[in-house]
Amino acid sequence: MAEQEILYLSQKDVVAVDLPMSEIIRALETAFREKGEGRTEMPPKPGIHPGGGDNFIHAMPAYIPALKAAGIKWVSGFTENFKRGLPYITGLLILNDVETGLPLAVMDCVWITAMRTGAATALSARFLAREDSSTVGILGCGVQGRTNLEALKVLFPVKKVKAYDIDPAISEAYADRMSERFDIEATAVQTPQEAVKGSDIVVTAGPILKKPHRTILPGWLEEGAFASLVDFDSYWHPDAMKEIAKFCTDDVAQLLHYKGAGYFQDIPPVYADLGELVSGVKAGRENARERTMTANLGLAIDDMAVAPKIYERALEMGIGVRLSL
Ligand SMILES: NC(=O)c1ccc[n+]([C@@H]2O[C@H](COP(=O)([O-])OP(=O)(O)OC[C@H]3O[C@@H](n4cnc5c(N)ncnc54)[C@H](O)[C@@H]3O)[C@@H](O)[C@H]2O)c1
């Protein structure tokens, strides 16, 4: 039998493939339509927790027949890594052939994780935000602050960004970089309230906490605005969340799983998951006054919708290293 090979794609290789955000959003749209119509396989993610605390290593398998996508992401988040000069999120993704089950590729998963999370915000916003949303408030100006804005910029006429970070040097650098990159008016603001008030879309992307710090108070999120809670409910006062007409998530089973683990203790009832919004089972925004919100948890189907596209482009571009199986 001929020797089988896999393609190894390092973090630099995955970045070099440079898959456009618009394609990532499209891939997620297909994945969520398939999920909404019951045609994906995605068992709940098992995890281990070396070192305790909020550290995790999660196994995230998924199969999306319509995209011929099957595989698993093995991703870790270690909260103290920054003290060692190491990244918080690291991991690998294995992509399998859906016909034979053979592994096709092993790739670094950091870029995919960053980009697909932004894409999931934008896809949710397509159904939950006003089409004319042009002012975005970003709280937490790290990796997610950047990719969420990049994705929103693909679907919305974003003109103004108000950026808040607990470290003002970070929000200032972010505002400069985003103004230049997207030709928009991005400014650093001094308080979370300034970032939320007057924004059409709000993204909170600070640390995930079991016990929310409840900074965002009732009356801050404007009528007709949409919020994406990349950092779960950490930022939100429960009474501010009660103002929401439609509270959504990407997967109810996973939300309940996190609830059982101590997160999301005081949230509104879930109106719809993203699969139901994309497949039309549930209506999205129905008027210009509703306040809407999603807490997307990050799903294995997000990653698996994107991985085959990276693999195919890498093959076309001659990127990566072939290794014997
Ligand atoms: N839901 C998902 O699918 C998903 C996926 C990936 C990451 N995340 C989460 O998103 C969050 C951001 O991830 P990242 O990769 O951008 O991290 P990052 O470290 O690159 O950026 C986080 C930023 O938040 C800032 N910050 C810390 N506390 C803050 C506060 N109270 N207010 C405002 N800013 C604050 C930090 O200074 C930093 O600039 C993390 O909590 C991560 O776990 C969620």
* pLDDT for residue 53: 79
Answer yes or no: 197 catalytic: no
User: Integer distance in angstroms from the first to the last C-alpha of the chain?
Assistant: 12
36 within 8 A of 276, measured Cβ to Cβ: yes
Phi, then psi, of 181 in degrees rounded to 5: -65, -40
Contacts of 324 (CB under 8 A, 6+ apart): 3, 4, 5
**Going residue by residue through the chain (325 aa), what tens digit of pLDDT does each one get?**
778 999 999 999 999 999 999 999 999 999 999 999 999 999 987 899 999 878 999 999 999 999 999 999 999 999 889 899 999 899 999 999 999 999 999 999 999 999 999 999 999 999 999 999 999 999 999 999 999 999 999 999 999 999 999 999 999 999 999 999 999 999 999 999 999 999 999 999 998 888 999 999 999 999 999 999 999 999 999 999 999 999 999 999 999 999 998 999 999 999 999 999 999 999 999 999 999 999 999 999 999 999 999 999 999 999 999 999 9
Among 60, 86, 144, 255, which residue has the most ligand 1 atoms within 8 Å of its CB, making it the best to mutate?
A: 144
Give every CB contact of residue 292 below 8 A, 6+ residues apart in sequence. 128, 129, 225, 226, 227, 244, 245, 246, 247, 248, 284, 285
How many A from CA of 4 to the centre of ligand 1? 40
Q: Is residue 295 within 6 Å of ligand 1 at its C-beta?
A: no
Q: Which of 166, 194, 228, 233 to mutate to test the pocket of ligand 1 (most atoms within 8 A of CB)?
A: 166
119 CB under 6 A from ligand 1? Answer: no
- Measured distance CA(20)–CA(11) in Å, rounded: 16
Q: For the whole model, what pTM was predicted?
A: 0.97
CA 230 / ligand 1 centre spacing (Å):
8
* Pairwise CA distance, residues 249 & 223, whole Å: 20
Of the listed 35, 45, 68, 73, which one is catalytic?
73
In the chain, what is the greatest distance between 2 CA atoms, to the nearest angstrom?
Answer: 67
